[in-house]
Structure 1
Amino acid sequence: MSAGTSAALWLLFVSIVFVSAEQKTITADPGQNVTLTCRVQEGKTIRAVEWSRADLGDEYVLLYRDGRFVSNEQHPSFKNRVDLQDRQMKDGDVSVILKNVTVNDTGTYECRVFIRETLSWESISIITLRVVVQEENLLDSSLCT
């Protein structure tokens, strides 16, 4: 196979993987708890779940493997602020709850799972979170001072 054909096939593969992930945008106010949804197709056995954000480098928002959280690879800003919505992951639900969001939580989050049947990571959900201070809240707080 020529280098050009290999590159074309790789690009097609990357496009299919990227397009298959559910994408959405969520807007929240500071201080809210936000659920970042992610659901695996029925009939697949989940071995690990990772929630990441591209700007965090090698650290995770949440990493759950072999029935427990891997906290030594978690970014410090998310410690004690994220949890799986359902630790038993019933019906393939691997959504996370992000507590007490701040503007620093703004970013694009990706949910990936390691599936036992395919022995591979699958990107399931990509969520852009925007945490914004509403102008109305700023106006109210300035009247109090």
Structure 2
Amino acid sequence: MVRSRHIRLLLLPVLWSHALESHTKASHRQVVSLVGEDCELPCSVDPGSNVRVLQWSRPDLDHYGYLLFYRHPWVRSHYQHPDYRARVQPKDPGLNHGELSLVLKNVTHNDTGTYECRLLLDNNIGSKTTVYLTVKDVNSWSEEEVSTTRGHLAFPVATLLFLLLMMIMLFIVVLKRRATPPQQDLN
């Protein structure tokens, strides 16, 4: 009896992985981090979705285990890979609001690699996000990489400022038109 329960517990992640493969949407992300920093591995789902299973894994790990294994309603720490104990946590510990990103603490060069966020929702629709993490030393970043990293924010910020300016100008024009009485033709 006890032996069959252990076998079922060991097979549970394998069975969930198989279930996640069918009806799955996939996306890919690239993350660059510095040695010693905490880094966020992004993964999300529509807010209001009910997540039944969440698996954060690293396919190239030699040993069995997950970075994080959640099966509603708890995180199952006994499935966690030893290298990631006390180094990972969900960005949103309650896994609410569609935020399923994972925070990896104190990254090292050994953390460079591919990570997978697999999830299964109540409606049996699955999703897989592949995240490629590159960990670099502070001194190894070229000026081009630093400016490119900063440039990722420059375009959205500039676009937001432009749209804000356009809305202000439109608001001023509408106010002026309402404040000016219409001209009557005396002819």
TM-score scaled by length of structure 2: 0.57
- Give the gaps of 5 or more residues in structure 2: 1-20, 142-187
Q: Let me know the Cα RMSD of the aligned residues.
A: 2.1
The CA deviation at 1:61 is: 1.1
TM-superposition CA deviations, 1:10-52 (whole Å, max 9, x none): xxxx8x94xx422111111110000111111344310121101
Mapped contact 1:59–1:75 kept (Cα < 8 A): yes
- What does residue range 102-117 of structure 1 map to in structure 2 within 5 Å? 102-117=108-123
Could you tell me which residue of structure 2 aligns to residue 40 of structure 1?
Answer: 45
The CA deviation at 1:135 is: 3.3
Mapped contact 2:55–2:66 kept (Cα < 8 A): yes
- What does residue range 1-145 of structure 1 map to in structure 2 within 5 Å? 17=24, 20-56=25-61, 57-118=63-124, 122-135=126-139
Counterpart Cα distance in 1 of 2:104 and 2:138? 19
Larger Rg: 2
Name which structure has the greater RCO, CA cutoff 8 Å, separation 6+.
1
Total equivalences in the alignment: 119
Report percent identity of matched pairs. 35
TM-score scaled by length of structure 1: 0.72
Greater strand share, 1 or 2?
1
- Give the gaps of 5 or more residues in structure 1: 1-13, 138-145
Greater helix share, 1 or 2?
2
